[in-house]
Structure 1
Amino acid sequence: MKPQRPVWEMMERGAESAGEACRLFDALEPVDPHEMFGTWKGRELPTGHPMDGWLEKTGWYGKAFHSTEHVDPLLFNNPFGEPFPLHPFPPGLISNLLSGARGAARLRKMEWRGKTSAVMIYDQLPIQDHFRKVNEDVLLGMMGWKGMKRPYFFLLARVYA
């Protein structure tokens, strides 16, 4: 199966279910954390998840991967339409500011659903975003946390300066 076409079709119509999105995710190739450095514009992939539409309503822009140790997992648009990082957990933000740490997440490689690929791990929250490569400039993300009944999906497109 050449997965790019189904991804583009799902981007337009959403997925019929989390199962359909999972099958597509499983068919895609892994991505190495170092391939992800840079800023990425995000877009939700509707699957009927209770969180569908929530991030876009809040002005979510995407993510910025500066290094394996410095990830801004949540970028939002400021009033001028420029992305800025917003830490998801205030005590984590305070801790990072006091310690000189930057970002609110890290990148690692992890085996997930039969393939070893990049995963973003939040510093202060039990959330992991797993990634697979649609192509060099588009990633499919699958977010999950312990106890979550079904995954939440999103797409990231590389932003060039």
Structure 2
Amino acid sequence: MRIYNKFAVFFFPPVVYDLIQYLFFPVNYLLGLLCYIQPQKSVWNDPGYEKLELKGTGIDPMDLKAAILNGKQSVFHEHDIVRLFDTLPTVSAEDDLIGRAWKGRVLRTNRSALDFAHWFIATPLRLLGFSWGKRYCTAKTGDPLFIRWLNLFYLPLPMWGNVGMMDVRWRGKSTATMVYDHQPWRDFFRLLSDEDGNVVLLGVWTHKHIAGGWFTLTLDKDITANAVAPKALEAKTNDEASAA
């Protein structure tokens, strides 16, 4: 644990992530299974994806972007989100995500497995004063579920194990991707907004080849990279200084 900016920020050793994700195997298996019984087939990266017709509601992607950034609590059509995703610039795992903590928000479609996590995990936590996000310490260590309670502390929930960060090609472009150590899951990201330092990412959670839901990550300015991974950041800074 470290104290930063009046917050208690917790870290767990790697063995904790490995053990706890095994304990939550039934829950994690159920989340993956839900992807196969979603009302809508959400396969967006198989061969020939370019030929898929994305109809949706017909909303202009920029109007959808504005609605998401305004925090509109609405149900979005997945085809509209995919069309928006394709218009956005890619991001780099090394340059844009690692060493940062993020605040998360599920984009509900009422047709995705992630809606289940929203209603049965995120919503109960919010009622208790918790909010969820993610933390990326290094290229090989990170928290896919990183919660904040009021203005007191940040705590990782290792139920999904550890994650690493790399750039992976998805829908024709290589972009920052969160890869789970023990789950057949990946999260792909594009840059939704970077105005006045308010960085917002659009992400999609995938189970193997199926998209299980969409969400946004907003840069958490209350804790910086020094609180996320101070030793890793210091080493990176020293390497850059040596190279210069």
Q: TM-score range by the shorter chain?
A: 0.7 to 0.9
1:159 is matched with 220
Q: Structure 1 residues 151 and 24, CA, compared in 2 at 3 Å: closer, same or farther?
A: farther
Alpha-carbon distance in 2 for matches of 1:22, 1:134: 13
Per-residue CA deviations over 1:52-85 (Å, capped at 9, x if unaligned) read 2234224351000111111111112347653211
Alpha-carbon distance in 2 for matches of 1:26, 1:151: 17
Q: Give secondary structure in 2 for the equivalent of 1:56.
A: helix
Alpha-carbon distance in 2 for matches of 1:16, 1:45: 7
2:202 is matched with 140
Matched, 1:131 2:189: yes
**14-23 or 121-130: which moved more?**
14-23
1:25 is matched with 85
Question: Shift in Å at residue 51 of structure 1?
Answer: 2.8
1:65 is matched with 136
Q: Give secondary structure in 1 for the equivalent of 2:183.
A: coil
Alpha-carbon distance in 1 for matches of 2:151, 2:73: 30
Which structure is higher in helix share? 2
Alpha-carbon distance in 1 for matches of 2:140, 2:113: 30
2:154 is matched with 83
Alpha-carbon distance in 2 for matches of 1:13, 1:33: 29
2:229 is matched with none
Q: Say which of 42, 46, 56 aligns to 2:122.
A: 56
Question: Shift in Å at residue 36 of structure 1?
Answer: 1.0
Alpha-carbon distance in 1 for matches of 2:152, 2:78: 31
The amino acid of 2:158's aligned partner reads H
Q: Structure 1 residues 5 and 159, CA, compared in 2 at 3 Å: closer, same or farther?
A: farther
Query: Is the Cα contact below 8 Å between 1:4 and 1:134 reproduced in 2?
Result: no
Q: Give secondary structure in 1 for the equivalent of 2:66.
A: helix
Alpha-carbon distance in 2 for matches of 1:72, 1:119: 13
Which structure is higher in strand share? 1
Identity %: 29
- Normalising by structure 2, we get a TM-score of 0.54
**49-58 or 128-137: which moved more?**
49-58
Q: Give secondary structure in 2 for the equivalent of 1:160.
A: coil
The amino acid of 1:51's aligned partner reads L
Alpha-carbon distance in 1 for matches of 2:107, 2:189: 14
Question: Shift in Å at residue 3 of structure 1?
Answer: 5.5
Q: Give secondary structure in 1 for the equivalent of 2:158.
A: coil
The amino acid of 1:69's aligned partner reads K
**24-33 or 72-81: which moved more?**
72-81
Alpha-carbon distance in 2 for matches of 1:124, 1:116: 23
**123-132 or 4-13: which moved more?**
4-13
- Normalising by structure 1, we get a TM-score of 0.79
Structure 2, unaligned runs of 5 or more: 1-59, 126-130, 223-244
2:177 is matched with 119
Larger Rg: 2
